Each structure stands twice: as structure tokens, then as C-alpha cells.
């Protein structure tokens, strides 16, 4: 009588390997789809926080004066109005003047302050080159906290007029990927 020996299987079968590779591919695809949305939300939240801190800092700095005449990026930097993450930790005239320490948004573009015309009773935070995915989230988060919000100049009202709620249609239109906003002015009094 012949004896049959049973061999034990070693390793993984081709089907098992293909199944594992398929699961890894699905996870990778999901990460590439979800990551930009998560990143845009994080950028919008960071800038909402930064804008709130800037407004509070400017109002504290100029509150007793009654107007914002003399407000510049250099003054705001030296007075530590900008969150340190926006200016590379700069706090002196010489370090604030360095181009590496100019205020930057979470997406790495310029942020500046502008003062309205006489009687200098309003100022704006100007964001440039806003990514489309971040734009809608940022405007939805903080537009209601400002007197006006626009895309053309300080005091412009194409997104939010004084005393009005932000216009969701204008936000959606201005932030559309085919026509992204290049400038946003958040004006405060």
C-alpha cells in the first residue's frame, strides 16, 4: 500500500495576495480623494482663527485712538498682532522687515492689512490667491464676523454688505473652481 503524504501549504496563494493588493489600492485611492478636502478644512479653520486674532489685536492696539490711521503690516507685526505662525515668529522691526517673515496664510500666500480712506475708521485683512477648496469653507466660517467682505478692494460688498448676512450664492460663485477668487478683503470697523 502506498502512503500518501500531505504537504503543508507554505506562503500565500495568488488569490490572497491579489486580495490584499486590492484592499491597499482602495485605501490609497480613498486617501487621495479625502486628503484635499481635509487639508482645505484645516486651512480654513486656521485662517478663521488667525483673522479673529488679527481683528482683536488691531482693535486692542488702536482702540483708544478711535481710528486706524498708521496701521501697517510692519506696525502690526511689531505689536504682535499677527499670530506668530503667520510671521515666522518675528517681533522686531528688523525681523518683521525680512521677506521670509511677511505675513502668510496657511496656504503660503500673502496676507496684508489695509486701512480705509479718511476718517480711517475701517481696516481690512487682505488674503491673496485663495485655493478654491479653501475659499468656500473660509468664507462660510468667518464672513459673518466682518462688516463687509468683498473681492475687489477694502469695503467692497460683493460677498457681504454691511448689516447683511453673507450671500451664499455669491460665495459659491466666487469660489467656483473655474473662476477662483484671487483676493478677499475682510473689512472691520
With cut-offs at 50, 70 and 90, classify the pLDDT of residue 20. very high
Regarding pTM above 0.85, the answer is no
With cut-offs at 50, 70 and 90, classify the pLDDT of residue 2. low
Distance CA 50, CA 119 (A): 26
Question: Cα 109–114–117 angle (5° rounding)?
Answer: 155
Distance CA 36, CA 54 (A): 26
Average pLDDT over residues 13-40: 88
Q: What is the DSSP string of 19-56?
A: HHHHHHHHHHHHHHHHHHHHHHHHHHHHHHHHHHHHHH
- Among 31-45, 130-144, 170-184, name the one with the lowest average pLDDT: 170-184
Residue that has been written with the C-alpha cell 496684508 in this structure:
112
Distance CA 55, CA 187 (A): 10
Q: Which residues sit opposite 127 in a β-bridge?
A: 111, 184
For 62-115, how does the pLDDT look when each residue is reduced to its tens digit (9 = 90+)?
Answer: 988 889 999 988 888 888 888 888 887 777 777 777 777 788 899 888 898 989
Residue 176 and residue 130 in contact, taking contact as beta carbons nearer than 8 Å: no
List the 148-150 sheet strands across, edge first. Answer: 111-115, 123-128, 183-188, 148-150
- Percent of the chain beyond pLDDT 90? 18
Distance CA 82, CA 76 (A): 7
Amino acid at each position: 500500500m502506498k502512503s500518501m503524504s500531505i504537504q503543508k501549504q507554505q506562503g500565500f496563494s495568488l488569490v490572497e495576495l491579489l486580495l490584499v493588493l486590492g484592499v491597499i489600492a482602495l485605501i490609497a485611492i480613498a486617501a487621495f480623494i479625502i486628503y484635499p478636502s481635509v487639508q482645505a478644512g484645516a486651512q480654513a479653520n486656521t485662517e478663521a482663527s488667525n483673522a479673529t486674532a488679527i481683528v482683536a489685536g488691531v482693535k486692542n492696539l488702536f482702540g483708544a485712538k478711535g481710528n486706524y490711521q498708521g496701521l501697517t503690516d510692519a506696525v502690526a507685526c511689531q505689536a504682535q498682532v499677527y499670530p506668530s505662525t503667520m510671521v515666522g515668529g518675528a517681533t522686531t522691526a528688523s525681523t518683521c522687515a525680512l521677506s521670509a517673515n511677511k505675513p502668510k496664510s496657511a496656504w503660503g500666500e500673502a496676507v496684508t492689512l489695509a486701512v480705509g480712506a479718511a476718517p480711517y475708521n475701517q481696516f481690512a485683512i487682505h488674503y491673496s490667491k485663495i485655493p478654491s477648496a479653501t475659499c468656500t469653507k473660509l468664507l462660510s466660517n468667518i464672513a459673518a464676523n466682518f462688516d463687509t467682505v468683498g473681492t475687489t478692494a477694502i469695503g467692497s460688498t460683493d460677498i457681504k454688505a454691511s448689516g447683511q448676512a453673507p450671500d451664499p450664492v455669491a460665495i459659491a460663485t466666487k469660489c467656483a473652481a473655474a473662476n477662483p477668487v484671487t483676493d478677499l478683503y475682510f473689512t472691520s470697523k
